[in-house]
Structure 1
Amino acid sequence: MSRTVYVNGEYLPESEAKVSIFDRGFLFADGVYEVTSVLDGKLIDFEGHAARLQRSLGELDMATPVTMDELLEIHRELVARNGIEEGLIYLQITRGAAADRDFAYPPEDTPPTIVLFTQSKPGLAESPAAKTGIKVISIEDQRWGRRDIKTVQLLYPSMGKMIAKAAGCDDAWMVEDGHVTEGTSNNAYIVKDGTIVTRHLGTEILHGITRAAVLRVAREAQMKVEERPFTIEEAKAADEAFITSASSFVMPVVEIDGEAVGSGTPGPVAARLREVYLDEMRKAAI
C-alpha cells in the first residue's frame, strides 16, 4: 500500500510526489529537516522539534512555509492517513526552486519547498538493541562548523555510518581536537561514578531535542550531570555509555573501538533513563 506524503500543500500518493530538479535542497543541500517520533499514534515532543525547526530556518535566513499550528495538523493528518502507531515523521524544508542553478540565493519571493513523509516502525520503543547495546568506533569529525543547525548536509555522517558498518559496528562517534562531538545521528554520553557526562551545547553539536528531555529527566531524578567535552579514552574507561536521538530514544553503548565499556553490557543508568524518558514522553505526547 502506497504511503500518503505531503508536498507543498498537497497530500499525495508517494508515487506521484515530485520536486523540481532545480530545488536547492537537491543542488546545494540548502535545507533543514526534523524527525519526530510517533508512539501510540501520538507525536513525541513536537513542540521541541517545532522550536528547533524555527531556529534552524532563522539561522539560514530561510522562510517558513507554514505556521507551527498548520505543521502540527499536517503531522497529525499524515499519522491518520498512514495508520502510524509507532514510527517517524520526516520533515524537510528547502529554500525552494530557482529558475536555474546559481550559488546566489533565489529571489526572496521564491516559495520554499516543504515535504513530509512517514515511516512505520512497529516495535520502535521495544528495540532489541536497547537490551544488548550497540558498538561504536571513533572517527575524525570532518563536518562543517555549524552543526547546531539541523541541515540536510548529511553526507559525512552517512560515510561515518558506513565506516562503522564496515568495521562490524553500529555507529561512529566523531572526534575533534581530541574530544567526542557526537554520533553520526545522535548525541553521545558516558557515565562515571554515577555522573552523566555529555558535551555542552555549542556550534560543534546538534542541540538534540531528546538530549534536552533526557537531561531534564535525569536532573529531576537527582542524577548528577556534567556538560563538558570528554575523550575517547575517557569513554573507554567509563562505567557506561549511551546515545540519545528521536528514533533511538536512549540507547546503551557497550563497546568503543573494540573495547568493552564497563561490563560490556547495558548499564543501570541508561536503562533507567530510557524507561523514565519513554514514560514521560508518552504521557506528554499529542
Structure 2
Amino acid sequence: MAFKSFTEYLLLEKNYSALTVNAYQTDLKNFLDFITAKYETNTINKVNYPQIRSWIVSMVESGLSNRSINRKVSALNTYYKFLLKIGEIKTNPLSKHKALKTSKKIQVPFSENEVMTVLNELHFENDFEGIRNKLIIELFYSTGIRRIELVELKLTSVNLDNKTVKVLGKRNKERIVPLLKPVVQTISKYLISRNELESIIDDDILFLTKKGIKVYETLVYRIINDYFSLASAKVKKSPHILRHSFATHLLNQGADLNAVKELLGHSSLAATQVYTHNSITELKKVHVKAHPRSEK
C-alpha cells in the first residue's frame, strides 16, 4: 500500500504536524484492522462504501462521539484523495459521504483580566525557562499564532529592528505579524539567556528546552495550562484558547475582521467569523450606543 508515500505527502506537501500525521496513521490502521477482521481483506484500495459504512456503524455502536468518528473518516477520505491523485484508484468510495451531525463546541476565551493576571501578577523565574515561558505566553497572546507555528519558529523568523515575526502557516503560507514593544523586549532578554545555554543542538530554532533542543508541542501546551490554571477556572486552558482570546479581544476593541483574518493566517473570512460569536456582548453594546433608533 501507499502508506509511506502518503505519510511523506502529509508531512512535506500538506505541511501537517507529526502529531497529526501519527493520528492519521492510527485511524488508517484501525480501519485496516476492521476490514481485515470482518471482510478478510487487507487492501484499503478495493473497499466499497457499504463496507466503510459498516465501520462507521460499529464506531457509533461502540459509543465513540460523532466528532471523533468524523475525524477518523476524514483521515480515510484524505487517503483516498491521495490515491486518486497518484492514480492508484479511479473513484473515491467516500466521495458522496455526509459527515455525522455534531454539536458546535463553544470555545470560551480567557478574559482580558485573566491574561493580564498571568502576565503581570504571576511569578516567572528570572532564568532561561522562566523567561522562555513568559515569552511563549506573550507571543501567543500578542500574535495569535498556532502552537505548531510557534514550535517551528526559527531565529531568522524574528526581526527585532522591524518589530515583526515571519510565521509559516498551513500549506506553507507565510505571513508577517507585527510585534508589540514589550514582546520585543522579552525576546531580546530571552535571546541573551538562550545564548548562555551550555549546549545548543537545534541552533536554528527560536524556542529551545534547557537541553538545547527544539521545544515540543506537549511542552508548550503544559506551559500554557500550568500558568493559566493559576489565574483561570475555565475547563480548557490551551494555546488554542489563547489564540481565541487574541482574536476576541481585538474584535472587542473594534479591530477590522479582515485585519484579524490576516493576523490569524486564515484563508477565508468564514474561519475568522467564529470569533465574532465570542464578541457578541461587545457588539450589542456598540449597536445600542450607535444605532439611531436605540434608547439612549
Q: TM-score, normalised by structure 2?
A: 0.28
Return the index of the structure with the highest Cα Rg.
2
The structure where helix makes up a greater share of residues is 2
The structure where strand makes up a greater share of residues is 1
The structure showing larger relative contact order (alpha-carbon pairs under 8 Å, at least 6 residues apart) is 1
Q: TM-score, normalised by structure 1?
A: 0.28
